[in-house]
Amino acid sequence: MSSAIGRGASVGGLILFGTTTSLFAKIVYELESVGRDGQPKLFQKPWAMTLSMFLGMTLCLPLAYYREHRQRKEQQSKGSLSVPLIGAHQAAAPSEPPPVAKGSLKETLLLCVPSFFDLVATVLMNIGLLSVTASVYQMMRGAEMLFAAAFAVAFLHRHLNRWHGLGIAFCVIGIGLVGMSSVLGGEGSSTHQVSTPQMLFGIGLIILSQAVQAAQLTFEDFFMADLDMDPLKIVGFEGVFGSVMMIGVMMPIAYFLPGEEGTGLHEDSLDSLVMIKNSTALQGVLGTDMLALLLYNLSGMMVTGHLGAVFRTVLETMRTLFVWLVGLLLFYTPLGMGRLGEKWTAWSPLQALGFVVLVAGTLVYGKGDEAASKGDIDAAASGDRDAPAGYTREDPEAAAAPLLPGMDAAVDVQSEPTLIATGRSGPISMPVGIRSASPSQRGGSFRASMTIAQGSYRGSYTLVGSGPRGLSLDAAPGELTVRETATRRGGEGAGGVEAHST
Residue 14, pLDDT score: 87
Q: Which residues of 314-335 are buried (b: 16+ CB within 10 A; e: fewer)?
A: bbbbbbbbbbbebbbebbeeee
Residues 358 and 178: beta-carbon distance below 8 Å = yes
Angle, helices 46-58/112-129, rounded to nearest 10 degrees: 140
Residue 489 within any structural domain of the chain: yes
Closest CA to 224 of 156, 125, 164, 158: 156
Residue 495, pLDDT score: 35
pTM score, whole prediction: 0.72
* C-alpha span between 406 and 402 (Å, rounded): 8
Residue 433 within any structural domain of the chain: yes
Q: Which helix (H) or strand (E) holds 111?
A: none
Structural domain harbouring 464: 374-399+415-501
How many folded domains does the chain comprise? 1
Residues 26 and 129: beta-carbon distance below 8 Å = yes
pLDDT tens, 146-173? 898 899 888 888 888 999 999 999 999 9
Residue 145 within any structural domain of the chain: no
Residues 468 and 431: beta-carbon distance below 8 Å = yes
* C-alpha span between 338 and 321 (Å, rounded): 22
Residue 104, pLDDT score: 76
β-partners of residue 483 are: 498
Residue 25 within any structural domain of the chain: no
Closest CA to 47 of 107, 108, 123, 115: 123
Residue 108, pLDDT score: 87
Residue 463 within any structural domain of the chain: yes
Q: Which helix (H) or strand (E) holds 392?
A: strand 391-394
Residue 114 within any structural domain of the chain: no
Which residues in the chain show pLDDT less than 70? 1-2, 79-103, 309-310, 313, 380-502
Residue 120 within any structural domain of the chain: no
- Please provide the DSSP assignment of 211-231 as one string: HHHHHHHHHHHHH-TT--S-H
pLDDT tens, 352-392? 999 999 999 988 988 888 888 787 777 766 665 444 444 44
Residue 471 within any structural domain of the chain: yes
Residue 248, pLDDT score: 95
